[in-house]
Structures are given as C-alpha cells and as structure tokens.
C-alpha cells in the first residue's frame, strides 16, 4: 500500500511538472505585440495615417479606432491575427487628437 501511495504522489508531481513546462513554452512562444508608430501618442493630426511595427507570426492586422469623451480625442490599437483567424497579440492603446 505504501508503494502505491508513493507511486501516485510521483505521478502527480510528474504531471504538475509537465504542465509547468508546457505553460512556460506557451508563454515564451507568444510573439511580441505590434508596436504602434503613427500617429504618435499625444499627436495632433488632421488626417491620421496608421502604421506599426510588425508582430512575428501575424498573417493579418486589424486596427481599432474609437472616440473618447472629447469628440476630437481618438484612441487606436492594432491586433495581430494568425492564419486561423485568431488574435495572437494586441498593441498598447495610443491616443491622438484630430486638429
């Protein structure tokens, strides 16, 4: 009976170790987020031209633009999507003003 109990404990420890390794690999495998370039944070622009640094593994990008409480203030961010139509990473939000 003691041998079976130790065997079960060892199996649980091995399973937990495997989950930790898989979790670490998945965290390390996530590509860096796309980095917004233009419009710059706090910029005042008439007609924004959106650009960003690419994210590894992205098949396409989606830019989200939205107003804030001030109708002239706008935020934007960019999402990187893989070929399976899944968001793989999202940039930080940038804010700019229409002037």
Q: Where are the domains of the chain?
A: 1-30, 31-99
Residue 86 has what pLDDT? 92
Of 14, 35, 49, nearest in space to 77 by CA: 35
Report pTM.
Answer: 0.64
Q: Which of 26-30, 51-55, 70-74, 86-90 has the lowest mean pLDDT?
A: 26-30
Residue 87 has what pLDDT? 93
pLDDT digits (tens, 9 = 90+) for 10-67: 545 555 555 555 554 555 567 789 999 999 999 999 888 999 999 888 999 999 998 8
What Cα–Cα distance (Å) separates residue 97 from each residue in 16, 70, 93? 50, 9, 14
């Amino acid at each position: 009976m003691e041998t079976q109990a130790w065997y079960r404990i060892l199996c649980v420890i091995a399973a937990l170790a495997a989950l930790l390794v898989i979790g670490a690999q998945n965290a390390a495998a996530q590509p860096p987020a796309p980095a917004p370039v233009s419009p710059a944070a706090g910029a005042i622009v008439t007609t924004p031209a959106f650009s960003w640094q690419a994210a590894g593994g992205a098949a396409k990008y989606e830019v989200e633009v939205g107003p804030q409480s001030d109708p002239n203030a706008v935020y934007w961010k960019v999402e990187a999507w893989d070929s399976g139509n899944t968001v793989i990473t999202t940039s930080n939000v940038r804010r700019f003003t229409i002037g």
